[in-house]
Amino acid sequence: MTFQDILKIFEENDNFLILTHKSPDGDTLGSGFALCAFLRDMGKKANVVNSDSFPERYDLIYESYYPQEFDVKYVIAVDIADTNLLGSNLSKYAEEGAIDLCIDHHISNKYFAKQSYVEADASAAALIMYKIFKASGRKISRQIARCLYTGIATDTGCFKYENTTPQAHIACAELMSYGIDFAYINRKMFDVKSKGRLMVEQSVTANMEYYCGGKCSMIVLTKELMEKSGVDAAEFEGLASIPLSVEGVKIGITVKQRHENVFKISVRSDDEIDASAFCREFGGGGHIRAAGCEITGSLEEVKAKLLKQAEKVLG
């Protein structure tokens, strides 16, 4: 599938519904809202939906967005590797054939859509969107540029992660030329934290656990701790980088409680460990250095499973 094939789909269809993944991040929202704006600029009708609400943290992406009324005729998933990432409120789209097109950059993509464009070496789904829009020859609005920049910046950790490519830098340099407030975007995404978020950081850092001779570290975010902080769930993004920041650690694990016996796992690894392969053992996936999954059971059972796998990969 080529960019021209995708653009032909945009031209020949209308009434688009754009799906973004649960616990939304800057890339899925940046890609989704950029695509929505692009389609509307083409004269099409389009909406963006999420199983959760759109986090206030990303309001700079959707501040000018408004939902349109129409009967959905074409469904596009962005930055979604598997239908289990849709969330309960969008689970009906997990049915076979319900999603027409998926545009993604995860090596673990399950190819669940009727048609898929997956570029596993792309730094972000937003980078793929950028290239599609450029291939169209159409003008990119300042708001689209803002969405795309946010998506690429957040998925590369402000261009610090290993998935950062020359293409990502070049694309963002051009997006900056549209007059976007990139300094504000980066400050809001990476520097500004609420008092509640800082309290959580202090707690998980003080209680970080080390295993496998210090090569594996783990932090745990219980529902009690998160509720006590009083902050929006989106603010907990970025905590997954804390365990790997410790000298000597090769695999950092973040255990975040979603429900009583359901835990979201985020894994970050150095250049010797495949995080996606690690999470695949638990039905998850993602990128080589950053991946995730969900595990059910008590906290101690979940930790035991993770540590058994960590011991296996660390030898």
Query: What is the dihedral angle through the alpha carbons of 302, 242, 276, 273, rounded to the nearest 10 degrees?
Result: -100
Question: Do the Cβ atoms of 268 and 244 come closer than 8 Å?
Answer: yes
Alpha-carbon distance 264 to 14, whole Å? Answer: 36
Question: Do the Cβ atoms of 107 and 120 come closer than 8 Å?
Answer: yes
Alpha-carbon distance 309 to 151, whole Å? Answer: 31
Going along the chain from its start, the domains and CATH numbers come out as: 3-190 (3.90.1640.10), 197-314 (3.10.310.30)
> One digit per residue, pLDDT tens: the chain, 315 residues?
999 999 999 999 999 999 999 989 999 999 999 999 999 999 999 999 999 889 988 999 998 999 999 999 999 999 999 999 999 999 999 987 899 999 999 998 999 999 999 999 999 999 999 999 999 999 999 999 999 999 999 999 999 888 899 999 999 999 999 999 999 999 999 998 889 889 999 999 999 999 999 999 999 999 899 888 887 777 777 788 899 999 999 999 999 998 889 999 999 999 889 999 999 999 998 888 889 999 999 999 999 999 999 999 998
Predicted pLDDT of residue 161: 86
Mind giving me the DSSP string for 97-166? T---EEEE--TT----SSEEEE-TTSS-HHHHHHHHHHHHTPPPPHHHHHHHHHHHHHHTTTTTSTT--H
Predicted pLDDT of residue 97: 84
> Tokens for 27?
């890339």
Predicted pLDDT of residue 9: 98
- Prediction pTM value: 0.85
Residues facing 118 on adjacent strands? 104
Sign of the Cα pseudo-torsion (58, 218, 267, 244, in order): positive
Question: Do the Cβ atoms of 151 and 29 come closer than 8 Å?
Answer: yes
Distances, alpha carbon 185 to alpha carbons 46, 148, 170, 193, 195, in Å:
25, 11, 18, 13, 20
Question: Do the Cβ atoms of 112 and 83 come closer than 8 Å?
Answer: yes
Question: Do the Cβ atoms of 238 and 203 come closer than 8 Å?
Answer: no
Q: Give SS3 for 36.
A: helix
Predicted pLDDT of residue 95: 83
The candidate with the shortest Cα–Cα distance to 253, out of 199, 191, 305, 200, is: 305
Predicted pLDDT of residue 28: 97
Sign of the Cα pseudo-torsion (45, 71, 147, 94, in order): negative
